[in-house]
Structure 1
Amino acid sequence: MSDKYLTFTKSAIGRLLVKNLGLPEPVALERYADGDPLVTGTVLLGGRGRLAESLAGILGTLGVETADGRTDGTRYKGLVFDATGLTSVDQLVELQEFFTPVMRSLETCPRVVVIGTPPSQVEGPERIAQRALEGFTRSVGKEIGRGGTVQLVYVAAGYESSLASTLAFLLSPKSAYVSGQVVRVGTHAEEKAATVTDWTRPLAGKVALVTGAGRGIGESIARTLHRDGATVVGLDVPQAASELTKVMGEIDGDWLTLDITAPDAPQRIARHLAEKHGGVDIVVHNAGVTLDKKLANQSPDRFGKVISINVDAPQRITAELLAQKVVNPNGRIVGVSSIAGIAGNLGQTSYAASKAGVIGFVDSLSDELTDGITINAVAPGFIITQMTAAVPFATREVGQRLNAMSQGGLPIDVAETIAWFASPGSTAVNGNVVRVCGQMMLGA
């Protein structure tokens, strides 16, 4: 599906109407294509703190060109500011001193990353200064324009060397529709990140289970994990068998058809993964359903079905895989939540409850997992799919424009975020819920 309004704004009459009526003017986002460099252009480094001396080296391992001083006339594809050295409120002005002179020197679709220390790890004025970074980055995200993104990464002390996979994602076109987010590295980790030797195929040799893989976002997740080297086991309901087998056939994957809410589904999945693949490295709980009605018109069966599919089944399946030790060491568990689980939505009490439950699922396990296994979630906003194409025009337009990028996202945007979580280099990325919503104006 395409964004017809975005296409219209690039036409002669569209440009005229946008200019004269003050209409939203979305920028065509740059997205990653297999074989592309992670960053095309120069990333300017600034700030002082724990990472000041190591950032250039970390980015160098990713093939990213960096500069540590601004040059007049130079345009930058990215900005990375080390704010871990800000220990008092008065030092926050250093943010303005670095960013203001270069904000008009950014390329199209630029990437901005501010690195801080988790406020929970520091006290007094330093905690205040570090917490202030959240308001700063979210506001810059709404100002940057030109398809740009802005993120804050809190890096726990001792986990500075575990930052590469996160910077590779946030500075590249893979994060095209992720902005205004706070990512925590090392705050729920027991181990450092594994070494990634090939950033083009970081999942080589890994096995990934993707539920709801026959179409839409699930299909995109399966294809993206395969692109990064994984063997994908796609799972879907029997009614979607033809779609599922077609997708899996095209990516040399395996497939399994069953109802994930069935009492024996966790055991069947565990047995399949153990017997055919010797275990699993990545588990993506993507399968979901919406049965929207206002609460006054809701029935127990409809409400219960949404809860059962969207959050109860993932919890039961994960528990079984962990109990049987089917999830390999340094494994990844990823849930798919929704902006509705954060901000709520009219007529979606069951759906919003289930998707908030996915966030609770992440919270409940993030400090319990061992052997380097992690759990995170994505929370998509308005993603353009066949399902959203059926939404009434006016509602669809509001959904697509009510974000800092004035457009809807694509399934690949969700898939790329999950691929970042899945990377062996993301061992220290645990307990996060990252919105894929173009910095939607609703929710925190």
Structure 2
Amino acid sequence: MNEKLQEIIDLTAEKFHLDHYFLKRHHIFQEQSNMEETSYILNMEWFPKDADETDEDYNPSGTASIDVDLHSKLVKRIIFVNGENKTDADFPLAASTELAIEWIEKETGLEFGRQFKLIHEEEKELLFQAAVDNVAVFPSGSIEMEHNEEGKLSLFSVDGIFPNEDQLNWEPFALTAEQIDPIVKSQSKLLEIPLENEEKWEAIFGTATVFVTNDGKRTISFEEVESPKSYKQKDVLLEWVEPIQERFSKREIDLSLEATPEEVFNVEQAPTNEELTMDDQQHAEKASRDFLRSEFPDDSGKWKLTGLWREKGYIFAQLKPAAPDARVIDRKIKLIIDEKNYQPVNYTDNSIILDMFEHFEKAEDPKLTKEEAFEKLRKHIEITPVYVFDKKQNRYILCGKIDCEYGVDAVTGDVVLLNEI
């Protein structure tokens, strides 16, 4: 056993009073944030000493699965199987929310009110969201905490990003209705949503979620914010004269997140994904075109390269139809390219999902105009101040998040809750 690994295992056993447990197995895996930061996580599965071990693939009731960041030594996740906690540790969730928050601050190093806020509270559950001075941030982080009937901890998890005040540009929220109105209107669009029970598509006018900078001069899409830091948005029509006769052959690739103690402790800093150079992008564009020439030889001009990013030692290219339809589930191909020789090696295609709806009845033609639908939606549109990570400035900037939970039936004109469709 690696000495540093053993030290963390011993500290975990002591901290969580695992006297009635033994370490059944453990492994190390990589975890990557939207900021391209890679951390190494030690997962430990602690079995109760009185557990039935007849099934090697089965974690018995009361098993404690605990994830610890190997560099910060902070706990990322604790899950007790079936909510059964056999430790003697005194977790404060059942006592009071205030004590639970103090415990979270101690375990995470985060400060309540300045880096996270409470967004949901029930008898046995607390849910927190990343926030700076109680203003939400995107990409975001979350903290979840639950306890069982006995008042003992059954689940604790910390996921995502929790920035602090030093990482943002503070300014008063200044967006006005006059600035927002034309932007909101431009985000309204017709969508076709599948109704599984009725096996048909329904035409709905809705508003895309978008972020507007505090000066009202720029919009940032939700997809752009959620994409990896190395993501490069593209809009390249892929055309060719001649196909490639040899069909594309998928190769086995290693996308595993497993790591060894030597990989973790022999490096001073966890690896990050470097930005894509112009040379990288040009080679990836050629690789994407060659892939289509081979796999879809008759589709010249029917596909676009819409995005590129690095991930797990590969370059990923996103391909979408050049003329997409209004359906909310759009066709997309994720092409995986070897970053050393720029050869396409594998891909995923979501056409199998779309095939599930192939027999659905087509949506009726809209009877409302986009302008009529927008007037019905106007009062339901929400504008919320949020701090959004701007890849251009490498900082969080204040924006207005434009969002709407409602849509308008394009045929009947009825206003409907989108999550109830």
Same fold flag (TM > 0.5): no
Normalized per residue, the structure richer in helix is: 1
Normalized per residue, the structure richer in strand is: 2
Larger radius of gyration: 2
